Amino acid sequence: MSRMALALALGTSVVVGAAVGAAVARTGNTGGWPSYAALFDAAAPAVVNVTVDGPEARVGSGFAVSADEVVTARHLVVDADDLTVLDVQGRRLPAQVVGTDARTDLALLRVGGASLTPARLGTSAGLRVGDAVVAIGNPYGLGHSLAAGVVGHVGRRLASGDDGPRVDFVQLSIPLNPGNSGGPVFDARGEVVGVLSGTHAQGQAIAFAVPIEVLLEGLPALRGGAHVSRAFLGVRVVTVEGEAHIATVTPHSPADDAGLRPGDVVVSLAGQPVRSPEELQVRLDALAGGESVQVSLRRGGDTMRTEVQLSDWARQPVVAAGMTLVPAPGSGGEVVAVRPRSRAERAGVVGGDRVRAIDGVPVRAPADIKDAVAGGDAVQLEVLRQGVPVVVQLAEAG
């Protein structure tokens, strides 16, 4: 992280940071019980509730990084038509999305004339498993609420089928709920060390935060109005004797358009070596939709290079378990067709269903759904059918 990026991010927050540090030093405990009251009093003015009224109502959290800028989660606001923030004083203020990054699930909002109190931005580099952390946010729209916990793991990169950002998360053991996404995670000094991206729906009090360094690195681009998408290639690779062999190619995908075939061995992507599905995913994670990259392949005994125009991961229609899915706001995708006698038809999936979660894990794009069902295992789909939540069981393939 450069000194310039750090200075830009901390800009107007030095005075607030000093106040927070002093407050934490005075916190102590009462009768042997720890108290976070002073930390909350000092940090809460920087935290806001984020409300999206359309096209689908939802609530989340955010925090100020300057007098008129708020950081929150991209998945909360990416398709927002009407967006407001509510500060700790009860002021309800209109906001606009300035920049977004699908690779980190971060978004920057501008709140004109708000005179917000910026948070003090710290570092996650020194966090250790077991360190105390505090989150302040907007669970279930209840307003400024505090949750306390500890760091459960550092450098947690989720599996490639996950729908969230492609970063090395700080894993937290902390009781959070819907509405906390986009909110800040504070360390014992009252400094923001992470941005909450989501929870593990099948776990007990397991949450994931994007390290604050990721925000500091991307903040200049967000302020400049960048809207960065995640890259989509359209291949599934498997490791065979230490090499990345293409098992399938998605029809009409960038890989298909560039002439990649099943059986090809991917040697490198954008000049970086590829030896496994995990390495391919890491290479793609650093790229954005719309970029052109060179792929080096081995086909038979021949080595070849081809240029691939990557597309936006979130915009890809896919076919998965007999469902044809297209992107839909607030969900993983809308079912527009169901193949007869497919797993989806046998499960009772119908056209118009919007898939929101698979085995309790939220999905945010058709590509997520395709990844989640590609293995052929039995899974549970949570769908929205004509506005009503419905659970269907997708049987094992075969």
- The verdict on whether 312 is a catalytic residue reads no
Q: Which of 61, 66, 181, 331 is catalytic?
A: 181
H-helix segments, 70-176:
74-77
Judge if the upstream peptide bond of residue 55 is cis by omega within 30 degrees of 0: yes
Range 35-43, long-range pairs (CB < 8 A, 24+ positions):
36/134, 36/146, 36/148, 39/134, 39/186, 39/188, 39/190, 40/134, 40/136, 40/146, 42/16, 42/190, 43/119, 43/134, 43/136, 43/184, 43/186, 43/190
Summary count for the chain: helices (H), strands (E): 9, 31
Paired strand residues for 146:
136
Q: Which of 13, 61, 66, 105 is catalytic?
A: 105
Q: Which of 13, 75, 124, 163 is catalytic?
A: 75
- The verdict on whether 144 is a catalytic residue reads no
Taking the CA atoms of residue 362, residue 222, residue 77 and residue 179 in that order, the dihedral angle to the nearest 10 degrees is: 60
Residues, the chain, total?
398
- The verdict on whether 342 is a catalytic residue reads no
Catalytic residues: 75, 105, 181
